[in-house]
Amino acid sequence: MLRAAVPSDLETRATDDHHDALRVWLRLLATSNMIESRVRTRLQERFGMTLPRFDLLAQLERVPTGLRMNELSARMMVTGGNVTGITDALEREGLVVREADPADRRAWRVRLTSAGRRSFRSMADEHEKWIVQMFAGLPSRDIAQLNELLGRVKTHLRTSNEDEA
């Protein structure tokens, strides 16, 4: 007798014996991974864009004067080498430009070009629609409640002692 394949994700690791907090965390992680996977696929299929490149463009879109490479690295939580590789590719495509930082001759600032700003805006508009579609199964009050609850968890994590066990 053939059994139907049960989807396997991080949440399937939890059992009724596990603490509710662990099960919530695994569900949150599994859900986040599903959303990220769909976004990655759609960015690639629709725009030929990777998520890290999209993220770098998003950071630059927020700061029209540009950011230093180390600022990009910190904001994206990746190594400087990763930022350099992504920036190199985007620069070749004419989406970003590197300029000497007037405040520090040793540093470079990266900013969007006009083409980069137009390209990102197009991608960002579709990205937002994708996210809205992914949450369309929830009424707006549930989305607001989920946002509020996750905000409380985030606040607790920021204010709690990391060494607590």
Reported as a single tens digit per residue, the pLDDT across 133-148 is 999 999 999 999 999 9
Model confidence at 108: pLDDT above 60: yes
Q: 3 in a domain, yes or no?
A: no
**pTM exceeds 0.85 for this model:** no
Model confidence at 4: pLDDT above 60: no
Q: 12 in a domain, yes or no?
A: no
Number of domains the chain is built from: 1
C-alpha Rg value of the chain to the nearest Å? 20
What confidence category does residue 12 fall into, taking pLDDT thresholds of 50, 70 and 90? Answer: low
**How many CB atoms lie under 10 A from the CB of residue 51?**
16
In CATH, what number is assigned to the domain containing residue 104? 1.10.10.10
Average pLDDT over residues 21-34: 90
Q: 122 in a domain, yes or no?
A: yes
Q: 116 in a domain, yes or no?
A: yes
* Cα dihedral 10/58/113/73 (nearest 10): -70
Q: 61 in a domain, yes or no?
A: yes
Q: 53 in a domain, yes or no?
A: yes
The domain of 51 spans 20-158
| Average pLDDT, rounded, for the chain | 89
d(CA 115, CA 99): 16
